[in-house]
């Protein structure tokens, strides 16, 4: 047990698409608290502006996004991943220049080239600086949150980014799980089955968990969409406003908008403000003054009902995620004791209604406590438990992997010889969806041809909704339906009529995948931590 005034604080960091937050537990304290900057702001814009003199992070550069769009990085968490997996609209809608470098996204920020991970680390260090200012102590260890839908590559890259910046990541925890951990520790929810729906700036995740009497959290199932959140809602509203101005304005509005990135950003900023207004009011005024660059003042009114119409497909998707998580947890709505909202976009009335409807609740029954800060608070609680702070020893978290993982393998179809057309290449699942972490699974595979001396291991992750099998044509999953996590070759297999290879997948508590392949009866072994392809 840690005691004494010089005990380092337990620190949790939550960096989302739009904002970053840091929370801490100081020695002798029993509850976490969000850290505010010198002006009392606990939600720091996840913005980094590069200048000739260096870089600036947080609130100050966020005030100049419209005019300094060329050298300001925002929404960077959406770009942490493989270039080939990034949706085209995410790249096209970025206010700054995004291009591919070595298979990953890179930003041209006028005065600097930066990767998303480098920007992420700057935001993290800014938050750590605030925690050090408040606590009066240096911080070297943190617990970091990630979206529940974040794949292995994302987790590895953000952990590496923080460690390169000089921080040791004690644990990576999923944001909905962190939210539940905070609520349970603060006694805002009772033991039982709980659903948390986290609708943030860039992602939506739904987790179903059991909360025990002693404060532990066991996740039963999770479902998520890494490209569905408040930023997308703002984009929909901006597009609706643009269509309205196209119809009502003359004098080159369409041409001006098409030719100017700053005008598009101004419109998006106005849409974001209107969306906030419509979360509390049924109508709002939308005004773009002459200084916005359109050559004249623009004005319209927007009703909440009109805004909600633009979100119909997104709302349907949120409802589907709720149903999917419940189905995979094998629970019915009447078996749920509480529903928790997290993330800023969860406060949009239409979002609350669709969540309530999907989970057979009334909107006013949904628990909403510090929705934007819950994940950071939970990360700090987890950090306190890991570092031995008094009063946190009882905490235990068990999360799940959201997607099935496996390798590409050939299955006999009976149509002919294997070396001709009698095999069908499918996803062979090694770790099933919703497996509790940490998890270790093994499968045995065989060489396809006599005297084969190499075996390719093509690692796959399936984000679809089917339960993959090899025997039912309705549930077969082909490699081209999956994401490739990596390709490795096991060499020097002994030439025989048929060789056996034992493949082991192991996912640690941080959600990071480790692969081992070993030829049976030999010392021929391949071992990899899955980081990139």
Does 344 reside within a domain? Answer: no
* CA-angle at 130, arms to 126 and 136, nearest 5°: 135
Pair 164, 284 in one domain: no
Pair 493, 385 in one domain: no
Quickly tell me which residue has 């990034």 as its tokens. 86
Does 134 reside within a domain? Answer: yes
Q: Which residues contact 291 (CB under 8 A, 6 or more apart)?
A: none
Does 375 reside within a domain? Answer: yes
Digit-by-digit pLDDT tens for the chain (533 residues) are 444 456 789 999 999 999 999 999 998 898 999 999 988 999 999 999 999 889 999 999 998 887 888 899 999 999 997 788 888 888 988 888 999 998 889 999 988 999 999 999 999 999 999 999 999 999 999 999 999 988 888 998 999 999 999 999 999 999 999 999 999 888 888 889 999 999 999 999 999 999 988 778 899 999 999 999 999 999 999 999 988 888 776 666 777 777 677 788 888 889 999 999 999 999 999 987 654 555 567 888 999 999 999 999 999 999 999 999 999 999 999 999 999 999 999 999 999 999 999 999 999 999 999 899 999 999 999 999 999 898 887 778 888 888 899 999 998 765 544 444 457 899 999 999 889 889 999 999 999 999 999 999 999 999 887 777 665 656 789 999 998 888 999 999 999 999 999 999 999 888 888 999 999 989 899 887 765 33
pLDDT at position 123 is 97
Written in H, E and C, the secondary structure of 213-282 is: CCCCEEEEEEEEECCCCHHHHHHHHHHHHHHHHHHHCCCCHHHHHHHCHHHHHHHHHHHHHHHHHHCCCC
CA distance 155 to 288: 40
pLDDT at position 421 is 47
Does 213 reside within a domain? Answer: no
The set of long-range contacts for 189-194, using a CB threshold of 8 Å and a minimum separation of 24, is 189/337, 189/338, 189/340, 189/367, 190/337, 190/338, 192/337, 192/338, 193/220, 193/331, 193/335, 193/336, 193/337, 194/336, 194/337, 194/338, 194/339, 194/340
CA distance 74 to 196: 26
Pair 105, 242 in one domain: no
Pair 161, 289 in one domain: no
Quickly tell me which residue has 């100049």 as its tokens. 64
pLDDT at position 531 is 52
Token code pair at residue 185: 């520790």
CA distance 375 to 390: 21
pLDDT at position 418 is 46
pLDDT at position 532 is 37
Pair 31, 176 in one domain: yes
CA distance 68 to 109: 10
* CA-angle at 57, arms to 15 and 42, nearest 5°: 55
Residue 384 three-state SS: helix
Q: Which of 238, 197, 177 is nearest to 509 (CA)?
A: 177
Pair 422, 295 in one domain: no
Q: Which domain holds residue 258?
A: 230-312
CATH of the domain at 103: 3.30.420.40
Among candidate residues 379, 399, 419, the one where a domain is terminated: 399
pLDDT at position 4 is 44
Pair 265, 118 in one domain: no
Beta bridge partners of 407: 428, 459
Does 487 reside within a domain? Answer: yes
Among candidate residues 312, 328, 357, the one where a domain is terminated: 312
Does 324 reside within a domain? Answer: no
| Total of domains in the chain | 3
Burial of 431 (0-12, 13-18, 19+ CB in 10 A): buried
How far is residue 293 CA from its own chain's centroid?
35
pLDDT at position 533 is 30
CATH of the domain at 265: 3.90.640.10
Does 22 reside within a domain? Answer: yes
Cα separation values, 178 from 102, 207, 530, Å:
33, 11, 24
Token code pair at residue 526: 């391949």
Pair 495, 429 in one domain: yes
CATH of the domain at 437: 2.60.34.10
Q: Give this prediction's pTM.
A: 0.86
pLDDT at position 376 is 98
Query: Cβ distance 238 to 271 under 8 Å?
Result: yes
Among candidate residues 349, 381, 399, the one where a domain is terminated: 399
Q: Strand 141-146 and strand 168-174: pairing?
A: parallel
Q: Is the bond leading into 225 cis (omega within 30 degrees of zero)?
A: no
Radius of gyration of the chain (CA): 25
Pair 15, 160 in one domain: yes
Pair 260, 244 in one domain: yes
Token code pair at residue 476: 């077969």
Q: Which of 335, 367, 349, 328 is nearest to 196 (CA)?
A: 367
CA distance 28 to 21: 22
pLDDT at position 265 is 84
Pair 167, 263 in one domain: no
Does 319 reside within a domain? Answer: no
Pair 302, 429 in one domain: no
């Amino acid at each position: 047990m840690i005691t004494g005034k010089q005990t380092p604080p337990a620190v949790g960091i939550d960096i989302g698409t739009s904002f970053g937050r840091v929370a801490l537990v100081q020695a002798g304290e029993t509850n976490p608290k969000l850290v505010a900057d010198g002006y009392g702001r606990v939600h720091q814009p996840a913005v980094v502006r590069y200048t000739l003199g260096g870089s600036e992070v947080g609130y100050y550069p966020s005030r100049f996004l419209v005019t300094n769009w060329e050298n300001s990085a925002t929404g960077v968490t959406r770009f942490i991943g493989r270039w080939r997996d990034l949706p085209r609209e995410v790249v096209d809608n970025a206010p700054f220049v995004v291009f591919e470098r070595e298979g990953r996204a890179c930003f041209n920020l006028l005065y600097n080239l930066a990767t998303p991970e480098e920007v992420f680390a700057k935001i993290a260090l800014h938050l750590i600086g605030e925690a050090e200012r408040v606590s009066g102590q240096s911080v070297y260890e943190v617990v970091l949150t990630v979206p529940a839908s974040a794949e292995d590559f994302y987790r590895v890259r953000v952990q590496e980014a923080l460690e390169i910046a000089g921080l040791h990541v004690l644990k990576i925890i999923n944001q909905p799980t962190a939210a539940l951990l905070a609520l349970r520790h603060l006694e805002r929810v009772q033991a039982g089955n709980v659903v948390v729906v986290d609708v943030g700036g860039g992602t939506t995740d739904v987790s179903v968990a059991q909360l025990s009497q002693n404060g532990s959290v066991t996740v039963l199932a999770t479902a998520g969409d890494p490209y569905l959140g408040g930023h997308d809602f703002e984009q929909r509203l901006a597009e609706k406003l643009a269509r309205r101005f196209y119809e009502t304005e003359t004098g080159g509005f369409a041409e001006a908008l098409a030719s100017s990135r700053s005008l598009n950003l101004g419109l998006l900023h106005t849409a974001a403000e209107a969306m906030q207004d419509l979360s509390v009011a049924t109508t709002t005024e939308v005004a773009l003054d002459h200084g916005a660059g359109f050559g004249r003042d623009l004005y319209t009114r927007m009703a909440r009902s009109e805004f909600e119409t633009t979100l119909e497909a997104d709302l349907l998707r949120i409802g589907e995620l709720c149903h999917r998580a419940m189905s995979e947890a094998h629970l019915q709505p009447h078996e749920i004791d509480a529903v928790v909202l997290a993330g800023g976009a969860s406060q949009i009335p239409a979002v609350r209604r669709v969540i309530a409807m999907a989970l057979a609740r009334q909107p006013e029954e949904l628990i909403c406590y510090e929705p934007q800060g819950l994940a950071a608070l939970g990360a700090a609680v987890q950090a306190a438990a890991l570092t031995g702070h008094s009063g946190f020893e009882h905490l235990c978290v068990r999360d799940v992997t959201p997607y099935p993982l496996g390798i590409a393998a050939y299955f006999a179809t009976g149509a002919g010889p294997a070396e001709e057309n009698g095999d069908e290449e499918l996803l062979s699942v090694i770790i099933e969806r919703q497996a509790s972490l940490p998890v270790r699974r093994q499968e045995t595979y065989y060489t396809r041809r006599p005297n084969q001396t190499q075996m390719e291991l093509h690692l796959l992750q399936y984000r679809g909704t089917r339960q993959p099998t090899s025997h039912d044509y309705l549930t077969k999953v082909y490699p081209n339906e999956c994401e490739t996590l990596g390709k490795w070759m096991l060499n020097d297999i002994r030439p025989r009529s048929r060789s056996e290879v034992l493949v082991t997948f192991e996912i640690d508590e941080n959600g990071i995948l480790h692969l081992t392949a070993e030829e049976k009866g030999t010392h021929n072994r391949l071992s990899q931590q899955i980081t990139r392809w």
